[in-house]
Amino acid sequence: MQNDPEAISCEPLGEGGDSRVAGTDHFTEGPPGEGTSLTVNNQTTTSPPEDPWAGPELKDTETPWEELDTKGKVFRCAWTSLRILLVFTCLYFFICSLDFLSSAFRLLGGKTAGRVFQDSELVRNPVCGVMIGLLSTVLVQSSSTTTSIVVSMVAADILTVKLSIPIIMGANIGTSVTNTLVSLGEITHRNDFRRAFAGATVHDMFNWLSVIVLLPLEVATDYLYHLTGAIIGHMRLETSKDANKDLLKAVTKPFTKLIIQIDSKKIGLIAKGGDKDYSLLKTCCLSKKTTTTNETGYNITQTNCLKKCSHLFVDSGLTDSVIGTIMLIVSLTLLCVCLFGIVKLLNSLLQGHIRTAIKKFVNYNFPGKAAYFTGYVAILIGMGFTVLVQSSSVFTSALTPLVGIGVVSLDRMYPLSIGSNVGTTTTAILAALATDTRGGTRQLQNSLRIAMCHLFFNLSAMCLWYPIPFMRFPIRLSKFLGNTSAKYRWFALFYLVVGFFLFPLAVFGLAQAGWEVLTAVGTIFLFVVFAVGVIKFLQRKKPEWLPKWLRNWKFLPVYFRSLEPLDRLFKHMFGFCKMCHHHHYHQHNHHHHNQRHAESAPINATENEKML
């Protein structure tokens, strides 16, 4: 076989690519984005590089409409209508699963979140305030709940407006954990997962960068505090009990209330110092308070239940933790099933010309110089949809699988996420407008002031990270995370656990040691991050400015510059299978190449299995 000029064999070349070489034929595939080359008789043909961030162009395998008979056309219409109906059905239960997930986290962590707000020493530290907002939002899976609790505590004079601003910033970060969880549903498809994870984390990166820049600015200048104070001072305020309307709840509540109902007000009561033994499970749906005077002249107020709730767990006798665990399993299962159904149905519907047309419409840019303003229209659309559904998590989570299959581009997801961030601030504003003003209008002013701080924080972040294309760092950072998670699947879980749990807890631990320790460690950490960023920039743009030993990272131990050692460790400990970096990219080309040379010589199956 070695002497046959047409025979070929397979040999992996490592991470950079793979090659089949023998005689005069040479077939090489590089990583996604670098294209493939085929050398036959010393003549090389290179295919154009594939963009891993662009969705696959699926060919339309259906018979053209004009070639169908009447029966075929009727069947086509019925089948298409059924799939569209199934998409909306899956989307409905997908939204319900997010509601169940929120209920599960509230039952498991709601009391902890409420107690965190009571620690005045931690709240006084701005960095800890951010982490309190982040952890509370992760625990209750709702930034709306966190901001509403903060607004009510400000109205009750338990928290001041200044102390509440960092908590609101942290809630902004925590709200992005939901769509990051949703992106894990694409983990079995490498390039889809690359896009979905990047589409989810672009929201994270935007919020983290905003806090890193704007929190020190607020601590130094109090610009949000003074700006909102000036605005509130010139407003004539009037409370409205009917202000807090939720369109999404009106659609999903008929189903979700049959399964479980949570009394979120009890989390606020715990935060205000109420009974910590409250069960968050709602058992009474309609009650009436009656006041009577006893023999000693004291007034006694009793709450009588007029209508008992009728959800699945009302008389179960189970604790909040057990019910929360059950609901967590149910919600995650339902979420994955619905997400799988949505992706499969959309891939079935959006093929060929239909997919191309929808991609062009969704990612359309205005012609000429007006193209600059396309993103601002997307921001308004994201804001509008979020105001309608009163949940940024639902809106961005619904978009995440669309980014994964390539219908919505990452560049379009970014302004939509920014708009969603701005739109979600209406929840706090509506909660503030519903504040009880029997104690005076100052309560309404303070609660509305912190809600306005939330709004202007997001507007400031938008002005910082969007108008100038060069400043759109969240897109580049999310692409880095997407590429990393596509190569190492475990990195996505690592990112979730570290970013949303371990890092905030580490900050709390340092805060307990004293603000001096927290400041010292934080300064060193930020300096290292800044130095690494500058060096990487110079390595890419001006390597001649650096000494030779600093032009790459090889001077560092491998554990400090690569995830490969961790990858090997996880494979050894847990049996994780690190799939080939190019599996889905190669699959079509391998098949094509095998067909081309099937008669010449069979490809070594063992080597193929090693590569794939």
**Pair (356, 484) in one structural domain:** yes
pLDDT (0 to 100) of residue 605:
35
pLDDT (0 to 100) of residue 120:
58
The strands making up 25-29's β-sheet, listed across from edge to edge, are: 10-12, 18-22, 25-29, 36-40, 43-46
Angle subtended at Cα 246 by Cα 186 and Cα 445, rounded to the nearest 5 degrees:
115
Residue with tokens 């896009």: 195
**Pair (533, 568) in one structural domain:** no
Residue 610 located in a structural domain: no
Size (the chain), residues = 612
- If one compares 561 and 166, the residue with the highest pLDDT of the two is 166
The yes-or-no verdict on residue 194 having pLDDT over 90 is yes
**Pair (85, 217) in one structural domain:** yes
Residue 307 located in a structural domain: no
Residue 301 located in a structural domain: no
Confidence of residue 2 (pLDDT cuts 50, 70, 90): very low
Eight-class DSSP state of 498: I
Angle subtended at Cα 415 by Cα 413 and Cα 419, rounded to the nearest 5 degrees:
115
- Residue 370 to residue 375: CA distance in whole angstroms: 10
**Pair (140, 42) in one structural domain:** no
Range(s) of the domain holding residue 522: 515-542
- If one compares 142 and 17, the residue with the highest pLDDT of the two is 142
Residue 609 located in a structural domain: no
pLDDT (0 to 100) of residue 295:
67
**Pair (486, 499) in one structural domain:** yes
Ramachandran sector of residue 235 (left: φ over 0; alpha: ψ -120 to 50; beta: rest): beta
The mean per-residue pLDDT over the stretch 412-416 comes to 93
What phi and psi values does residue 153 have, to the nearest 5 degrees? Answer: -70, -35
**Pair (213, 129) in one structural domain:** yes
Residue 159 located in a structural domain: yes
Closest listed residue to residue 396, CA positions, set 247, 206, 224, 549: 206
The yes-or-no verdict on residue 306 having pLDDT over 50 is yes
Residue 71 located in a structural domain: no
- If one compares 52 and 206, the residue with the highest pLDDT of the two is 206
The yes-or-no verdict on residue 496 having pLDDT over 80 is yes
pTM of the model: 0.73
**Pair (27, 91) in one structural domain:** no
Name which of 264-278, 392-406, 482-496 the model is least confident about.
264-278
pLDDT (0 to 100) of residue 412:
92
pLDDT (0 to 100) of residue 514:
78
Name which of 205-214, 289-298, 370-379, 543-552 the model is least confident about.
289-298
What's the chain's average pLDDT? 76
The yes-or-no verdict on residue 190 having pLDDT over 80 is yes
pLDDT in tens, 17-60: 444 444 444 444 444 444 555 555 555 555 555 678 876 666 66
CB 284 within 8 A of CB 304: no
Q: Within a 10 A sphere around the Cβ of 457, how many other Cβ atoms? A: 24
The yes-or-no verdict on residue 339 having pLDDT over 90 is no
What phi and psi values does residue 307 have, to the nearest 5 degrees? Answer: -145, 120
Name which of 113-122, 223-232, 281-290 the model is least confident about.
113-122
**Pair (506, 520) in one structural domain:** no
Eight-class DSSP state of 288: E
What phi and psi values does residue 158 have, to the nearest 5 degrees? Answer: -80, -35
pLDDT (0 to 100) of residue 240:
53
The mean per-residue pLDDT over the stretch 278-307 comes to 73
- Residue 220 to residue 228: CA distance in whole angstroms: 16
- If one compares 73 and 33, the residue with the highest pLDDT of the two is 73
Residue 378 located in a structural domain: yes
What phi and psi values does residue 387 have, to the nearest 5 degrees? Answer: -60, -40
Query: CA separation (Å) from 326 to 114, 313, 493?
Result: 22, 11, 21
CB 32 within 8 A of CB 191: yes
Q: Where are the alpha helices (DSSP H) in 424-514?
A: 425-433, 441-465, 473-487, 490-497, 503-512
pLDDT (0 to 100) of residue 268:
64
The yes-or-no verdict on residue 238 having pLDDT over 70 is no
- Residue 415 to residue 396: CA distance in whole angstroms: 11
The yes-or-no verdict on residue 189 having pLDDT over 80 is yes
pLDDT in tens, 103-127: 887 787 666 666 666 555 677 888 8
**Pair (113, 144) in one structural domain:** yes
Domain-terminating residue out of 524, 542, 560 = 542
CB 187 within 8 A of CB 489: yes
Q: Which two tokens stand for residue 418?
A: 């920014």
The percent of residues in the chain predicted with pLDDT above 90, rounded, is 18
Name which of 158-172, 488-502, 561-575 the model is least confident about.
561-575
pLDDT (0 to 100) of residue 477:
93
**Pair (481, 519) in one structural domain:** no
Confidence of residue 585 (pLDDT cuts 50, 70, 90): very low
**Pair (483, 524) in one structural domain:** no
Residue 289 located in a structural domain: no
Name which of 6-20, 29-43, 77-91 the model is least confident about.
6-20
User: What is the domain count for the chain?
Assistant: 4
Eight-class DSSP state of 559: G
Name which of 192-196, 346-350, 590-594 the model is least confident about.
590-594
**Pair (364, 462) in one structural domain:** yes
- Residue 164 to residue 146: CA distance in whole angstroms: 11
Confidence of residue 323 (pLDDT cuts 50, 70, 90): confident
The mean per-residue pLDDT over the stretch 300-305 comes to 72
Q: Within a 10 A sphere around the Cβ of 110, how many other Cβ atoms? A: 28
